[in-house]
Amino acid sequence: MIRRNLMIAQGGGPTAVINCSLVGVIEEAKRINSGRIIGALHSIDGILNEKLTDLGRERQSVLKEIRNKPGAALGSSRRKIQEEDYGHILDVFRKYDVRYFFYIGGNGSMHTAHNVDRLARSIGYELKVIGIPKTIDNDLAYTDHCPGFGSAARYVASVTREIGLDVESLPPPISIIETLGRNTGWLAAASSLAKKQDGDAPNLIYFPERPFVMESFLSDVEKVYAKYGRAVIVVSEGLKDESGSYIGGVKAEASKDGFGRNLPGGAASFLSEKISENLGLRARSEKPGLAARTSINYISSVDQKEAYLVGKMALRSAVKGNSGVMMTLERERGKKYRCKVGAVPLENVAIAEKLLPSDYINSDGNYVTEAFLEYCQPLVGKPIRSFSSLKGYKIVDYT
C-alpha cells in the first residue's frame, strides 16, 4: 500500500461501542502500515478548527482500554455543517494531505460524509470517504442493525425487568418508562427481551410507528391493572398522536438538534399524569435517557465485536479504492446468527430513517411480535439475567 494519511472523526450521540469502531480503523491502519492516522477532536469542529491528534502514536495498551470506554474518545459534535464549511474541510484535508476520511456516526453524519465525498469528486481531489454506522436508535437504513443498538437494547431490556420487579414489591402500581429513539420504536421494542412469562414487565409497549390514541391507551392500562394489580409500560420518546403532534410536546427551542429538527421528550411524565387523572391510579414515570447509550456494564459482546469489525473493514474498503459508501451489517441466512460486513452508497443512507416494520408490532399496536424477538435477541449477546422468586409455601399449623 502507498502510505497515505487518513483522518477519523466521531459524530452525533456516542454509544457504548463507538470507540470499538475507532480502534478497529486505527489498528487496521497500523497493521497495513498506512500513513499518518489523524483524529479530529470533537468531530467536524475539530477539522474546521484544526484541533487534531496523532492517533498513530497511541500505545496498544491505551487502545485496548479505549475499546471499553463509554463516550466518544475523540469527542463528538452535533454541528450542522453550512455549505461554506465543506470547502474549508477540503482545505484542511489538503493541508494535511488527508486521502482517507472515516466518519463514525448516524444519519446526520452520513449526510455530511456524502457531501464531503461529492465535493471532493467535483473538484478532482483524490479522497476516499467511508461512513461507519453507529446509533442506539437503530434507524440507519440499508443495514440489518447498527453498532450501538445491541448494547442499548440489552440495557433497556434489563432495566425494564428490574423496574418490573420493584413495582411488584412496592408499587406505585403503574410505572411508565420512556426510551430514546427519536421517531422510531426500536429501543422501546427491545424492552421485551427479558420478559419470561405472562405478567412480567413490560406489559404494554407503544411505538412512534403507530398513531397514539389516548382512549385506547387508557383502556389498555385499565385491563392490565385489573388482571395484575400493576402495570409497567414502555413508550418511545417519539410517540405522536393522530395529528402528528408529539405526546408530551417538544423540548425548548434551544434543544433542537443540529439540523433544526424538534427533539421530543416528556411522553412518560405526561402519560403518568393522564393515568392518574382519568383512572385514579398512582403512576410514576422513569426516563433512563443517556444511561442507555453509556452503560458499559450492560454491553453486548456481539455489539462490541461487530462495531470493531465495521471499523476494520472500513479501512480495508477504502484501501481497495471504494469511496462514498457506508459500511453495513448483513445478516446471513440460517438458524445460527451470523453477520458479514457490506457497503451501501452514502447517498442512499443520508438522513433516511429505518422505521420499526409493521410485522414487528402486534395488531393492537401495544406490544411486539415473535418476529421482533427473533430479530433482536441475537444482538444483545449472552442471555439477559433472569431472577428466581420465592415459592410461597404455606405455613403448616403443627398445633
* Active site members: 137
Q: How many CA atoms lie within 13 A of 240 on its CB side?
A: 16
- 207/204 Cα distance (integer angstroms): 10
Cross-strand partners of 131? 103, 326
- The residues, ordered by sequence, that sit 6+ positions from 145 with a Cβ below 8 Å of its Cβ are 138, 329, 331, 379
For residue 377, with 0-12 CB atoms within 10 Å meaning exposed, 13-18 middle and 19 or more buried, which class applies? middle
User: Residue 71 class from Cβ within 10 Å (0-12 exposed, 13-18 middle, 19+ buried)?
Assistant: middle
Q: Which are the contacts of 143, defined by CB distance < 8 A and separation ≥ 6?
A: 133, 326, 328, 329, 330, 344
Q: Are strands 325-331 and 339-345 parallel, antiparallel or unpaired?
A: antiparallel
**Measured between alpha carbons, how far apart are the two ends of the chain, in Å?**
88
Phi, psi of 222 (to 5 degrees): -60, -40
